[in-house]
Amino acid sequence: MSVMTATPEMKVVTEASRLVMPRYAKLRFDKTRDRWVILVPERVLVPDETAVEILQLCDGTRTVGEVIDTLAQKYIADRATIAGDVIPMLQELVGKSFLTDLAEESHG
Amino acid sequence: MDDAFIADPTDTLSVLDGPGAATHVDFGIPAAVLAELTHRCPLQCPYCSNPVELERSSAELTTEEWKKVMSELAEIGVLQFHFSGGEPTVRKDLTELVRHASSVGLYTNLITSAVLLDEARLRELSDAGLDHVQISFQGADAAVANRIAGFRDAHAKKLQVARWVRAAGLPLTVNAVMHRQNLDQLPEIIDMAVELGAARVEVANVQYYGWALKNRAALMPTIEQLDECERVVTEARKRLKGAMEIDFVLPDYYADRPKKCMGGWGRQFFNISPAGKVLPCHAAESITGLEFDSVRGNKSIAWIWQNSDAFQKYRGTGWMPEPCKSCELREVDWGGCRCQAFALTGDAGNTDPACSLSPLHDRIFKLAEKESIGDNRDFIYRNYAASTKRV
């Protein structure tokens, strides 16, 4: 049996990406402790408000471009500024496997 | 906008106190609960964590009783539910239970030997909302693994089911319980987990109570084996960083300090036995003289967790004798393991002999060391015939 070389390729987030939380990670509101949590195998993680808002918008139907549009409208902010903030955050969440890209999967 | 931040409160993870908690609550309800649906199991692993007194199927909670338990747990703030056993898939109602757990918002984890699963049933469980699967492996080599499990063809079946799990898009954890007779296979077990696409592997050295204590002479690893084991894990963690997590548990016979067993008695964990008893740990029923409340009684699970005698008895530091009482580490390890103290000293209120400060430590360590270099390879297999349950 050979050992696979474990170098997960970096998936680059673009405005065309269509992100969604993977099946094993669940965003839930924990009413007992009055906060949002992310449930993953054997762990409970606590996201801050910004992470919750972004994760909720990444529902697998919106593209990243549409997520940026939504946030720019909500915060009445310059779209390019929002994009400059949001794309690195999404990139980080993808890197930590809290989001996966459906657009990438369907294209191969 | 601030940077998105996701905290991983590893140490406080199980006890997330919050504004929703009732008044006078000292201990938040655990975030995860382990349910031993049954003690029935086709495997006969000689280190099984189930009590030596196995529960008969006639005593098991019914489908409706388990559903009620799950609803109650979700209501009081439990977030994750582990379906365990025995072998949970022997329960014909497992899919129905998983569906119910999922419908009340619990994150569901199946802890299984896998040998009874086929592809159709796995899909059924997946469709019912199962979130994660953990499969136990007894080794990397089929002959060795099957002998330890006491089940013909177990290993091949497990490999097949692990592949179905991944094909169904479910995340997989490989659980490998390690001891003298399989530690030399650890590198191959880690390779196997990588090849199967596991996201996590648990390298869990046997803890010696219950069945494992009966089989200690055949299982106790040598010090050299454990040194090699640590080296292999350290190397693999470095190599597989970002691709596969490796959890690692040392046997506490060879540690200087006792383990923080269950995160401390009654602090962040409880499990529910097949018959519905709410227990501070899987082995707690081995301590004679403790009475455990059941979900079948008239008390709520939250009340049992907060107030019942069994949980209060060894909670905190008030029960501690010396050398624990004045020890600076008393709130670090919480006195170690009560079940081990009972099994090895006859009193659960004694200092865990795994601690080097215990007056019994040296004697027990020397005995274990002697056993580890002995040539006993025979197992007392875990089954109803060898069980001491009086019926």
Higher pLDDT, A23 or B180: B180
Q: Which of A26, A48, A98 sits opposite B131 (nearest CB)?
A: A26
Instruction: Compute the average pLDDT of residues B19-41.
Output: 72
| Residue of A62, A64, A80, A61 whose CA lies nearest to A72 | A80
Residue A39: inside a domain: yes
With a pLDDT cut of 90, the percent of chain B lying above it is: 78
Q: B120, B110 in Cβ contact below 8 A? A: no
- Domain holding A28, by residue range, is 19-97
Q: Determine the pLDDT at residue A5.
A: 41
pLDDT band at B6 (very low <50, low <70, confident <90, very high): low
pLDDT at residue A3 above 50? no
Structure tokens at B73: 């747990």
Contact A28 B191 (CB under 8 A): no
Instruction: Compute the average pLDDT of residues B131-160.
Output: 97
**A chain contacts of residue B169, beta-carbon cutoff 8 Å:** 23
B104 touches chain A (CB under 8 A): no
Separation between Cα atoms, residue B66 and residue B10, nearest integer Å? 29
**A chain contacts of residue B240, beta-carbon cutoff 8 Å:** 6
Lowest mean pLDDT among A42-46, B108-112, B373-377: A42-46
Number of helices (H), then strands (E), in chain B: 14, 10
Residue A11: inside a domain: no
pLDDT at residue B389 above 80? no
pLDDT at residue A21 above 80? yes
Residue A55: inside a domain: yes
Average pLDDT, chain B: 90
Q: Determine the pLDDT at residue A11.
A: 78
pLDDT band at B14 (very low <50, low <70, confident <90, very high): very low
**B chain contacts of residue A54, beta-carbon cutoff 8 Å:** 4
Higher pLDDT, A30 or B243: A30
Residue A52: inside a domain: yes
Number of domains observed in the structure of chain A: 1
Residue A5: inside a domain: no
Q: Determine the pLDDT at residue B390.
A: 44
Residue A24 maps to which CATH number? Answer: 1.10.10.1150
Q: A87, A5 in Cβ contact below 8 A? A: no
Q: Determine the pLDDT at residue B74.
A: 97
The whole-angstrom distance between B107's CA and the closest CA on chain A is 7
pLDDT at residue A74 above 90? yes
Q: What are the residues of chain A with a beta carbon less than 8 Å away from any beta carbon of chain B?
A: 1-4, 6-8, 23-24, 26, 28, 30-35, 37-39, 41-48, 50-51, 54, 71, 75, 82, 85-86, 89, 92-93, 96, 98
Contact A34 B19 (CB under 8 A): yes
Instruction: Compute the average pLDDT of residues B235-257.
Output: 87
A vs B: CB pairs below 8 A: 131
Lowest mean pLDDT among A42-46, B272-276, B342-346: A42-46
| Residue of A91, A60, A85, A92 whose CA lies nearest to A71 | A85
Instruction: Compute the average pLDDT of residues B127-133.
Output: 96
pLDDT band at A50 (very low <50, low <70, confident <90, very high): confident
Residue A34: inside a domain: yes
Q: Determine the pLDDT at residue B365.
A: 81
pLDDT at residue B68 above 70? yes
Residue A10: inside a domain: no
Q: Determine the pLDDT at residue B136.
A: 98
pLDDT at residue A90 above 80? yes
B76 touches chain A (CB under 8 A): yes
Q: Which of A3, A23, A45 sits opposite B6 (nearest CB)?
A: A45
**A chain contacts of residue B236, beta-carbon cutoff 8 Å:** none
Which of B:2-31 have CB within 8 Å of A?
2-10, 13-14, 16-21, 28-29, 31
Instruction: Compute the average pLDDT of residues B202-209.
Output: 92
Q: Determine the pLDDT at residue B5.
A: 66
Contact B16 A28 (CB under 8 A): no
Contact A41 B199 (CB under 8 A): yes
Separation between Cα atoms, residue B148 and residue B137, nearest integer Å? 10
Longest dimension (CA), chain B: 65
Which residue in chain B has the smallest CA separation from A47?
Answer: B6
**A chain contacts of residue B76, beta-carbon cutoff 8 Å:** 32
| Residue of B1, B28, B26 whose CA lies nearest to B12 | B28
The whole model's pTM is what? 0.89
Higher pLDDT, A92 or B166: B166
The ipTM of this complex is 0.80
Residue A107: inside a domain: no
Rank A36-40, B132-136, B281-285 by mean pLDDT and report only the highest: B132-136
Lowest mean pLDDT among A84-88, B76-80, B249-253: B249-253
Separation between Cα atoms, residue B9 and residue A35, nearest integer Å? 14
pLDDT at residue B160 above 80? yes
Q: B295, B78 in Cβ contact below 8 A? A: no
Instruction: Compute the average pLDDT of residues B100-106.
Output: 97
B346 touches chain A (CB under 8 A): no
